[in-house]
Amino acid sequence: MAEDQLSNNEMVALSGHERTEQGDWVTGLHPMDVLLRGERLPHIWCQGCGLGTALTTFIGALQWLEKNQDWNLDKVAVVSGIGCTGRVAGYLRLDSFHTTHGRAIPFATGLKLANPELKVVVFSGDGDIAGIGGNHFIHATRRNLDISIICVNNFNYGMTGGQAGPTTPHGARAVTTQYGNFEHPFNLPYLAAAGGASFVARWTVIHARRLEWTLRRAMMHPGFSFVEIIVPCSTAYARWNPEGKGLDPEKLGRRGLEVMKHYQQIGKITKDTHPKDASIRVDQQGAITEIVEGIFTDETKPEFLDSIHRQAQVAKKRWAAIKKALDERPRLSKRSDRISRTEVQLGGFGGQGIVSAGRIIGQAATIYDRLEASFTQSYGPEARGGAAGSQVVIDSDPIHHPHLIEPTSAIMMSQEAYTKYVPMVANGGTLCIDDGLVTLAEDHRQDLKTYGIPATRIAEELGNVRAANTVMLGLWAAIMEAVSKAAMRQSLADSVPPKTLEVNRKAFDVGYEKGVKSKRGN
Ligand code: SF4
């Protein structure tokens, strides 16, 4: 029986090496096979494919890091997507993950965030990283998370038969572009650098030694590193494209080698080249005539997890200060009387503090009177000057529906809000208006208990027109008694800038007094 017809098990038996307890085996015949899952070999890649070289340079780089940088390879995880390159995850004897198409980068991102100690490397193809997963790639480049992306570019979707992909050169032929690719390809190093990747490089596999050195540097780089590896796809891409011309199409096994020779001739090794000049030139027929290679970006910038940790420290300090202030707040006794569901609709225009007023009521009810409350808000198309509304629900019992059903009271500070919201108020409900700004309609609802106060004018006289909403809160609190006066005053103190507290307290008291008098009928 010919050797290539033997099964894995038969080959293992022939080699004279036993499977280990884990079920995989090391022949000891090759210096790299400690990092290969022997039981998965032979690999599925075509004769003449460059993927084997790409993988051996990667393994070489890992072994160098283990030996010279004390890397613990148990702390290295490799993630692949789908496609020919995606097989790498299965062949490596490391923690490795073969994910769904285009999702290698988000998977790797999650892995790194969950276990920052890991060195996470994505090893996948151009279709996976720049096509199906292109959006993940772009966003990964801008984050500078400390992961490495090794993108093996074979210029087409090789595994599925050679369809044009995101890196197929303009004019090049593929199964789906038999008359030449009409799209322009991504320049992957430029794309990565434009997104913010802090280490960017490209090599063809013919420059295996430089590639291996670069992979070492990329993996040691503290941040997001991207290395594009150009490989010959002997079966699919090279079949259709002129750089393979001069070959006997029958000699499939040599086609990859010929492409390698071509890459050697046209590869242009550069130093300090800007990523936008990292071009892959083609002639009119789409034949590749120049591949610029080298390390294009190598810079230090804040790493994603470091940035998060720094922000977390700041947030922790701020939260400690907030918690101290919250703990030091005066505690009022819980209201003993029951408050049935009270709904308040506040309305006016942006800049009047309609949303703040709603929040002050809600906070007073929950924090100080220890009732249940919900608060929602709505804006017009523009915030300042446009229509503004906020809604509060207060109850002694849990609130199962946070939105207003039928407001039992309303605070209106503009004519537009009056027109819009008053029809919604429940029969017999309470309406408080700034009567310097709102004129009651001729057919104003007689079922409503309506109270007016020139809140804006009073606030102006007190020296701060922005306290007009506080005047209205005082009026509403005295009339409705849904929230205690003490709770409202505390909530006010929590909410307004300290330097305006005095004027706001005065404004509240003026409104409150007016409310008490109005209720008495004075
Ligand atoms: S289809 Fe192309 S890229 Fe895939 S294994 Fe074959 S030669 Fe390599």
**Residue 151: its pLDDT value, please?**
98
Cβ 57 under 6 angstroms from ligand 1: no
Residue 257's identity, in one-letter code, is L
Q: In this structure, what are the phi and psi dihedrals at residue 245, rounded to the nearest 5 degrees?
A: -70, 155
Q: Chain centroid to CA 34: how far?
A: 37
Expressed in percent and rounded to 5, the helix, strand and coil fractions of the chain are: 45, 20, 35
Distance CA 167, CA 131 (A): 8
CA angle in degrees (0–180, nearest 5) for 488-493-495? 95
* Closest ligand 1 atom number to CA of residue 83: 4
pLDDT score of 1: 44
Residue 114 has a pLDDT of: 97
Q: What is the pLDDT of residue 284?
A: 84
Residue of 47, 49, 82 best suited for mutating to test ligand 1, as the one with most atoms within 8 Å of CB: 49
d(CA 511, CA 221): 65
236 lines ligand 1 (CB under 6 A): yes
The two three-digit tokens of residue 74, written as one number: 């148990």
Instruction: Tell me the CA–centroid distance for residue 28 and ligand 1, in Å.
Output: 27
Spatial distance between the Cα atoms of 519 and 485, rounded to a whole number of angstroms: 15
Q: What does pTM read for this prediction?
A: 0.74
Nearest CA to ligand 1 atom 3: 233
Pairing of strands 342-349, 409-412: parallel
DSSP string, 89-137: HHHBSSEEEE--TT-HHHHHHHHHHH-TTSEEEEEEEHIIIIIITHHHH
The CATH architecture assigned to 337-520 reads 3-Layer(aba) Sandwich (3.40)
Query: How far does residue 158's CA lie from ligand 1's centre (Å)?
Result: 5
Widest distance between CA atoms in the chain? 112
For residue 87, how far is its CA from the centre of ligand 1 (angstroms)?
11
| Token reading at 375 | 């608060």
Q: 125 CA to middle of ligand 1, Å?
A: 11
Q: How far is the CA of 234 from the centre of ligand 1 (A)?
A: 6
CA 267 – ligand 1 centroid, Å = 21
Structure-block tokens of residue 490 = 């505390």
Pocket lining: 54 vs ligand 1, CB cutoff 6 Å: no
Contact 54, 205 (CB under 8 A): yes
User: If residue 267 lies in a helix (H) or strand (E), which one and from where to where?
Assistant: strand 267-269
DSSP class of 195: H
Per-residue pLDDT of the chain (522 residues; tens, 9 = 90+): 444 555 555 655 655 555 555 445 566 667 788 899 888 888 999 988 999 999 999 999 999 999 999 999 999 999 999 999 999 999 999 999 999 999 999 999 999 999 999 999 999 999 999 999 999 999 999 999 999 999 999 999 999 999 999 999 999 999 999 999 999 999 999 999 999 999 999 999 999 999 999 999 999 999 999 999 999 998 899 888 867 554 455 555 567 888 888 999 999 999 999 999 999 999 988 889 999 999 999 999 999 999 999 999 999 999 999 999 888 888 888 888 999 999 999 999 989 999 999 999 999 999 999 999 999 998 655 445 567 899 999 999 999 999 999 999 999 999 999 999 999 999 999 999 999 999 999 999 999 999 999 999 999 999 999 999 999 999 999 999 999 999 999 999 999 999 999 999 999 999 999 999 998 886
Indicate if ligand 1 lies below 6 Å from the C-beta of 387: no
What's the pLDDT at 285? 81
Residue 23's pLDDT is what?
47
User: Does residue 293 contact residue 272 with C-beta atoms inside 8 Å?
Assistant: no
For the domain with range 47-302, which CATH number is right: 2.60.200.20, 3.30.450.20, 3.40.50.970, 1.20.120.160?
3.40.50.970
Domain ranges of the chain: 47-302, 337-520
Nearest-CA residue for atom 5 of ligand 1: 45
Q: Which ligand 1 atom lies nearest to the CA of residue 256? A: 7
Pocket test for ligand 1, best of 43, 46, 91 (most atoms within 8 A of CB): 46
Write the DSSP symbol of residue 14: H
- At 188 the pLDDT is 98
Evaluate: CB of 230 within 6 angstroms of ligand 1. Answer: no
Distance 100 CA to ligand 1 centre (A): 19
Tell how far the Cα of 156 is from the centroid of ligand 1, in angstroms: 9
Nearest CA to ligand 1 atom 2: 233
Q: What was the pLDDT predicted at 428?
A: 97
